[in-house]
A and B are shown apart, each in its own frame.
Chain A
Amino acid sequence: MHASPIDRGKHAGRARPGSRAELFASFTWLAIQGFGGAAPVAQRELVERKRWLTQQEFIEDWAVAQIMPGPNVVNLSLMLGDRHFGLTGAMAALAGMVTLPLMLVLALAIIYTQYGHYDVVERALHSMGAVAAGLIMGTGFKLFGTLRNNPLGLPVALVLIVLTFIVIALLRWPLLWVLLGTGIPASLWAWIRLSHREGKGGQ
């Protein structure tokens, strides 16, 4: 990002984690809320509550977290921890992401082997699944706002969204091929637009 006055104004309202312990606690809280999909919670906590990231930074970091190997929310915790406190920050954030949830999952597994298969539990999980689906889609729609400043231009961005949705959700193509097939042309187009906007003298 070039530091235009507008950008600097936008960053003025932003906070940062105060310590590794805060990273650990925040990512523990984030993980504990993450039933069936972490993106909605990550966006809520990191952008709207903690304000460690702007909406724009969130979608950029999430895109990178998605591309890297490993689960995307784990990658996001590593990236944020590392950015503020280096390797130990990354480890604190990752430990927060995993420790308490691991204990919970283990406790559940031990309980489940004793008491599993209750009808009520099944039904509750069933409709929670429908809510989880809504949470994830709603977060996607919420991020539409970030596309206004995207060098791709809004029409191209919308076409890309529809296209990617169709091949993933309806045609069920493998993720890797979709990322290569749509990501590379999209990035090239963004590069052309940025070159155009900034002239040949830019970086």
Chain B
Amino acid sequence: MSWSLNLYDWLALSWHFVSLSLLTVGSGSLTTAPQMHHYLVDTRHWITDVQFNTSITIAQAAPGPNLLYVALLGWNVGLATHSWTGSFIAMMTALVGTLLPSSVVTLAGTRWGHRNRNLRAVRAFKAGMAPITIALLIATGWLLMGPYNRPAHDWPLWVLTAVTIMLVWFTRIHLLWLLAAGALLGIVGLG
């Protein structure tokens, strides 16, 4: 890639992330990933397929919010400027663009909700959403098990998941120990 980014490109890059910010709802930081792929890879050819997939994999494997894959996408776009400064600015453009609109809406919304927390409608909303929130957590865990869908081969991983559920539910063992044990079991050949 021998081109660089002009002013119009920078504005387009910012606007792309700003415009998708409010569409990310729930735990799905990845819900807008298909649109980003379409724009950054297919339309503008700013990054490759491999760069896109690697960004998502690394952000998911690393600690911290998965949303940071957006920062990596920005970083990769910025590599075209052939300078660390350019990459850094592109990364921050993507991250701030993604976070700013949603944060403003969230702050305004939750301030209103907190001021009116004694309103029956607000209390009813929170009470009604509680079981749905629980169900979404269980469903998210279930969906994470999606790739392990060959019972004959994957049953040890299912056992691992079941044991983890019990340990989280009934003990206060530190979560990092569980993840470390998981990593270790993987290295010695489970799954």
Count residues of B near A (Cβ-Cβ below 8 Å): 97
C-alpha gap A168/B163 in the complex (Å): 23
Contacting A at CB under 8 A, from B3-40, are: 21-29, 31
Residues of chain A with a CB closer than 8 A to B107's CB: 78-79, 82, 87, 90
Residues of chain A with a CB closer than 8 A to B72's CB: 105-106, 109
Residue in contact with A70 in the complex, picked from B99, B131, B132, CB distance below 8 Å: B99
A143 at the interface (CB under 8 A from B): yes
In whole Å, how far is A126's beta carbon from the nearest beta carbon of chain B? 5
Residues of chain A with a CB closer than 8 A to B22's CB: 69
- Tell me the nearest residue of chain B to A140, going by C-beta: B137
Residues of chain A with a CB closer than 8 A to B138's CB: 136-137, 140-141, 161, 165, 169
Residues of chain B with a CB closer than 8 A to A33's CB: 63, 175-176
Residues of chain B with a CB closer than 8 A to A198's CB: 120
Question: In the complex the two chains form, is A109's CB within 8 Å of B25's CB?
Answer: no
B152 at the interface (CB under 8 A from A): no
In whole Å, how far is B121's beta carbon from the nearest beta carbon of chain A? 6
C-alpha gap A41/B3 in the complex (Å): 43
Question: In the complex the two chains form, is B141's CB within 8 Å of A175's CB?
Answer: no
B62 at the interface (CB under 8 A from A): yes
- Tell me the nearest residue of chain A to B88, going by C-beta: A106
Chain A interface SS verdict (over half): helix
Question: In the complex the two chains form, is A136's CB within 8 Å of B141's CB?
Answer: yes
Residue in contact with A78 in the complex, picked from B103, B143, B178, CB distance below 8 Å: B103
Question: In the complex the two chains form, is A164's CB within 8 Å of B67's CB?
Answer: no
- Tell me the nearest residue of chain A to B178, going by C-beta: A131
Assign chain A's interface to a size class. 35 or more
In whole Å, how far is A155's beta carbon from the nearest beta carbon of chain B? 11
A127 at the interface (CB under 8 A from B): yes
Residues of chain A with a CB closer than 8 A to B67's CB: 71, 74
In whole Å, how far is A95's beta carbon from the nearest beta carbon of chain B? 11
Question: In the complex the two chains form, is B126's CB within 8 Å of A70's CB?
Answer: no
A15 at the interface (CB under 8 A from B): no
B136 at the interface (CB under 8 A from A): yes
Question: In the complex the two chains form, is A105's CB within 8 Å of B62's CB?
Answer: yes
A sample of 10 more A-B contacts (CB under 8 A), given A64-B126, A104-B62, A161-B131, is A71-B27, A75-B110, A78-B107, A124-B182, A131-B182, A133-B161, A187-B129, A191-B128, A194-B127, A198-B120
Interface CB pairs A-B, < 8 A, 12: A37-B141, A66-B129, A69-B25, A125-B183, A127-B182, A137-B161, A147-B134, A160-B135, A168-B143, A183-B129, A194-B120, A203-B119
